[in-house]
Amino acid sequence: MIENRKEDHIRIAESENVETDHNYWDDIQLIHQPLPEIDFDSIDTRVRFINHEINFPMVISSMTGGTDLAKKINYNLATAAEKFGIPMGVGSMRAAVEKRDLADTFSVILERKVPVRIANVGAPQLINQAKPAFSDKDLEYIFNLIDANYLIVHFNFLQEMVQPEGDRNARGILKRLQDVASSYPVIAKETGNGISREAALQLRDAGVRAIDVGGLGGTSFAAIEFYRAKKAGDQEKMHAGRSFWNWGNPSPASIKYCDVGIPVIGSGGLRNGLDLAKALLTGAVAGGFARTLLKGADTSSEQIQTEISYILRDLKIAMFLTGSKNVSELRKARHFITEPLKSWLDIYVK
């Protein structure tokens, strides 16, 4: 049952250690400027997010939908998206396609003025699996359900490999993605294992409008599925979950690999506004946060608003202490990169 799986993901992500062993944002060091010569109160955090102007370079990453708990989380996240004027994604909308009475667990975000709404579908659902592929009508349905501005197509093949009920076919996705991207403004996204240069070029050529790197360094879906497999007593999937716990391309490296001429969202392992500053100076138009926001969003709308205000304040402090009055200046801030991230960049960034 999709509903049980979604609830499991939330509970496990909240209560177990599901992080990768290393967070690659720690490999970027910013040089402190003791004489910033700017007024903290005049720091300008506005950026262009693909085709929208947004107040802060932050995105609430796709997480959930399909259960009552998910409905509450989506509502609370939407209150924060409205308050700060930032984009928000909902989780995979497969549940709404398969069971129309779950639609309001996603469309609840329309109760708030979320400035940029992002629908979500898994790449495996674009082609036939054990179940038939989503039709054009299904895609139209989910896009309209939240009056979306963009459609995320998420690539989560490691998760498919380690989850008990995973989809196994990836053949033909690129061709279908091309069709979908000719009808909708698509953002291609990973879910914690990052993007390679080869994939970035393929995605750009398929016509996607932006890439959300969803890189390695934060939530590990191999870890989440390890705990689910453990609960189900599935030794084979537990084994794979453990083996691939730290698999993937680090988030900051993925941002560099995705420097192919379309906007890039930096995500995977962002914990605070300092990490967000690092994502921006690596080249992202905005940074996406997922698990860092989960507990707060589960608690209350006040709590998640407070937590996001701290993230955004940290971002402004990082801008202040690097002498950056706006995000363009932050992108030029002096910094250096240490191992192991440095080697990931040496691979193919000239």
User: What is the binding site for ligand FMN (CB under 6 A)?
Assistant: 9-10, 13, 61-64, 91-92, 120, 152, 154, 189, 191-192, 214, 218-219, 267-270, 289-292, 294
Nearer to ligand FMN among residue 115 and residue 214 (C-beta): 214
Nearer to ligand FMN among residue 121 and residue 330 (C-beta): 121
Q: How far is the CB of 335 from ligand FMN (least distance, A)?
A: 21
Q: How far is the CB of 307 from ligand FMN (least distance, A)?
A: 13
Q: How far is the CB of 271 from ligand FMN (least distance, A)?
A: 8
| CB contact at 8 A, 200 and 223 | no
Nearer to ligand FMN among residue 158 and residue 240 (C-beta): 158
Nearer to ligand FMN among residue 15 and residue 300 (C-beta): 15
Nearer to ligand FMN among residue 54 and residue 311 (C-beta): 311
Q: How far is the CB of 52 from ligand FMN (least distance, A)?
A: 19
Residue found by looking up tokens 């016509």 in the block: 207
Residue nearest to ligand FMN (CB): 218
Nearer to ligand FMN among residue 15 and residue 306 (C-beta): 15
Q: How far is the CB of 122 from ligand FMN (least distance, A)?
A: 7
Q: How far is the CB of 93 from ligand FMN (least distance, A)?
A: 8
Indicate the length of the chain as a whole number.
350
Nearer to ligand FMN among residue 163 and residue 324 (C-beta): 163
Q: How far is the CB of 172 from ligand FMN (least distance, A)?
A: 20
Q: State how far the Cα of 347 lies from the Cα of 275, in Å rounded to an integer.
A: 23
